[in-house]
Structure 1
């Protein structure tokens, strides 16, 4: 008499449509991603309510944002692997519960320290849900449909943290209560928890193969923490000293980046000698997966350029042209939020066609198409000038968003398909983590280069008559030039990604 292994139960025998499961996990992912940036809209009110000094405690308050990002990134490195060992359903539901506990903690926080702790708890749950969900898609969907589902998850995650500040701004404008932003997570999250528990009730728990790699986890987490703190510190170049000279990065920024690279090298050394590594380094020995990882980092880099430059351009122009308007900061935040939605919504919309193209033609074609469109978009945005209209900005951002969105699915599908069934969680974490690393590097390089470039142009234009007759116009021309040049950095990153896509080796050729 034959015995059927429950771990081999096919998708067709499950009563719950995997598309319903996908929709439910995307809801939870979106909530967690929104909370990455929602605090930015509420931070001024938080500081007032908690009686914090803007002069002396702003840097500490910024950890409500950066602490979330750090924990969000670190949790990805190991929770995907835990889902490989203990099952997607249990790990996913635990992550959602952790996020809800963190939300309640933040909403009830009596002081800044407790708020930051709550934000870290939130992030450990929210960040872990993304790779676990991607691995779950790999389990539930057949290869021909997997890429589209992965593209949707990537788009929802990206769109969530990119519209968080707009969502927070709208709620703060209506209710003027920052605690409500986090209390609202509870009813939405509890509904998502109940529905997801039902939808995943028959997802099999795979047999435990291997053990958890604690040394690799600690080394990789420490490397990411050092890299994020070092690069973030290196990009803080706005202040001047007593003599008006621009201050450089703090002295610990460079050493932390070096420590990060040393820890990464040690991680690779340990993983190569581990019987059960956290991340299978053999992924990087295959041309198609190695190139997919390069593309992923470049997409993150280019994305950071766009989401940093658009608010910078709009805020600079409105503040220079309307310096006496007391409401101009709120207007600028509103305009920047809606303008960025032209990028994020088109990214989300293009992710599904990118997945369908991947399922039909393989990864290389949609990756090349998307990166080509993104290069055109960044090239056009480099010529905005000081008077670009919102219509033009929106159309060119939409073109760039379509290009970046088309790339999400083929990159994720290539990496996850190359991993074994018992390694999908770890591979999914690698996909998201590399994109976040690209974004971190992009913001740091943009700031380091942009600040010095702006100072250089201002000194070079000191004799320009416009500096005396129309100083606002003079400064806006400089800002637009620097922003345009940094958009070329985004085009260059996409060009590197396009070259990587050209040398990708298609694994399975055309698929049905």
Structure 2
């Protein structure tokens, strides 16, 4: 505890954090190849992403506390091992069912890792440097969501879809060695775990997501016996409402300390990051299918159509990171979120079967600006008013809301794509859409290109509207004030005091 080196620890954690976030988006560009390679359907392929996001989101409320109880370094390393081994299982999957199951285990490993990264940053960096560190953490999240499809395209084209998972093996080993060496073992704090809260939140979220994603499959009617799609969704919502009530009334330590939401910026940031998670998860699926199915691009080519997002975001991230501690957060976040929506509206208006591909780089440039102005300000503002002893709980809640947004976004875009395909494509005599006649591997007949393109363009309007809700919420950010525990002469966390030494 006497020789904490915060920056090497941060960079060591970021390698693993970057890896788990890439796996939320890297699959999108490989969906057509997985669909063809495992001889399955579009809804099952989307479950490959949804299973990961669902298994990632549900445990986050308790995994942040596990880090507080048993040490964030220990829980991070356990999660890293689970994630890496599950990645190998994903690559060796021979059926879509095995792949979905392995992705769920992978998501569990990610859930153990993710809250520990934010918690360690909060505990080892002194207040005056914490904003810059959290800004880098937030920028990593933004870059990962953009790099994922590009890396996925290169791997699918060069080696096959399995390698989007095999690539995690060497990265996992490096991340493990660096974390063992550079991340300090921090003091633990006793916690009691709310098992009822875990069950209510997990069951509620699963029923809502399952109902949304499978609704089109069952024509929004009966699944089996008395069980209906709407019955599952309503039951899920009721369970989530009961979870909130249980958290307010529990005599034990709640999973979600509701008093955290008395911090206005924390509350606003959670709303904003939910819409961001929804949008970044859902926007790539319609675009990738359009690029590959209608325009006949390879996975790499389709991913490179989104490359301007990554390039601009990476270039601007250091600039924005320096600004987050100096300017009002809404001066960065609101324009960024509005630009997000503008880019998606541009895509929706510009997509046609024969538009010159160069024009479609323009919305990608706008998305790059949007990401650069969004991730760092929101993530750094979220926890700046929270004391270090609540770092695990705060980061767990923040990561949960981001992941829940992603889960719902994945399910919602799947439903909307299927619905718009049914509406825009001609029907066979039996009544089913012509979309069931092809395999999404580039073999879509020419006469279906216009209808398919319209379906993808219309689907993009959903994330465009959702992210505007985030922009409205971000307008309610207030300029962060130095909390009492941060004031000069008061006791900050011991880890932060020790980390105040010159940067290593």
TM-score (ref. length: structure 1): 0.77
Shift of 1:197: 0.9
| Compared CA separation, residues 505 and 62, structure 1 to 2 (3 A) | closer
Aligned residues: 462
Residue aligned with 1:360, SS: coil
Shift of 1:264: 0.9
Aligned pairs for 1:395-410 (under 5 A) are 395-410=362-377
Shift of 1:77: 2.6
Shift of 1:80: 1.3
CA-based RMSD of the aligned residues comes to 3.7
Shift of 1:210: 3.4
Cα distance in 2, alignment partners of residues 268 and 345 from structure 1: 41
Shift of 1:199: 0.4
Structure 2 residue 115 is matched with structure 1 residue 149? no
Deviates further, 406-415 or 163-172: 163-172
Cα distance in 2, alignment partners of residues 59 and 447 from structure 1: 7
Aligned to 2:179: 196
| Compared CA separation, residues 354 and 485, structure 1 to 2 (3 A) | farther
| Compared CA separation, residues 392 and 200, structure 1 to 2 (3 A) | same
Shift of 1:105: 4.2
The counterpart of 1:360, out of the listed 326, 339, 346, is 326
| Compared CA separation, residues 259 and 350, structure 1 to 2 (3 A) | farther
Deviates further, 291-300 or 342-351: 342-351
> Runs of 5+ in structure 1 lacking a partner?
1-5, 7-12, 238-246, 319-327, 460-470
Residue aligned with 2:306, SS: helix
Aligned to 1:31: 19
CA deviation digits over 1:337-392, x for unaligned, max 9?
Answer: 11233334544554444433221124222112312332433343332141433333
Aligned residues of 1:313 and 1:483 also touching (Cα < 8 A): yes
Aligned to 1:467: none
CA deviation digits over 1:302-323, x for unaligned, max 9?
Answer: 32442133213323432xxxxx
Cα distance in 1, alignment partners of residues 29 and 363 from structure 2: 26
| Compared CA separation, residues 112 and 505, structure 1 to 2 (3 A) | closer
Structure 2 residue 11 is matched with structure 1 residue 14? no
Cα distance in 1, alignment partners of residues 204 and 318 from structure 2: 33
Cα distance in 2, alignment partners of residues 120 and 447 from structure 1: 18
Aligned pairs for 1:63-462 (under 5 A) are 64-106=48-90, 116-160=100-144, 163-176=147-160, 178=162, 182-201=165-184, 203-206=185-188, 208-234=189-215, 247=219, 251=223, 252-274=228-250, 275-318=252-295, 328=296, 331-386=297-352, 387-449=354-416, 451-452=418-419, 456=423
Shift of 1:256: 2.3
Residue aligned with 2:325, SS: helix
Shift of 1:266: 1.2
| Compared CA separation, residues 473 and 134, structure 1 to 2 (3 A) | same
CA deviation digits over 1:69-115, x for unaligned, max 9?
Answer: 32222232321121122222111112112223323444566776665
Cα distance in 1, alignment partners of residues 239 and 347 from structure 2: 38
Aligned residues of 2:131 and 2:384 also touching (Cα < 8 A): no
| Compared CA separation, residues 347 and 74, structure 1 to 2 (3 A) | farther
Cα distance in 2, alignment partners of residues 42 and 496 from structure 1: 30
| Compared CA separation, residues 182 and 480, structure 1 to 2 (3 A) | closer
| Compared CA separation, residues 339 and 234, structure 1 to 2 (3 A) | farther
Aligned residues of 2:149 and 2:303 also touching (Cα < 8 A): yes
| Compared CA separation, residues 176 and 308, structure 1 to 2 (3 A) | closer
CA deviation digits over 1:113-160, x for unaligned, max 9?
Answer: 665544333221123322210111111223343334334334434544
Aligned residues of 1:370 and 1:405 also touching (Cα < 8 A): yes
Cα distance in 2, alignment partners of residues 369 and 265 from structure 1: 33
| Compared CA separation, residues 189 and 438, structure 1 to 2 (3 A) | closer
The counterpart of 1:493, out of the listed 443, 446, 466, is 466
Aligned residues of 2:386 and 2:394 also touching (Cα < 8 A): yes
Cα distance in 2, alignment partners of residues 342 and 257 from structure 1: 38
Aligned residues of 2:153 and 2:302 also touching (Cα < 8 A): no
Shift of 1:332: 4.1
Aligned residues of 2:344 and 2:463 also touching (Cα < 8 A): yes
The structure whose residues are more often helix, as a share, is 1
| Compared CA separation, residues 132 and 340, structure 1 to 2 (3 A) | same
Cα distance in 1, alignment partners of residues 387 and 4 from structure 2: 26
Aligned to 1:465: none
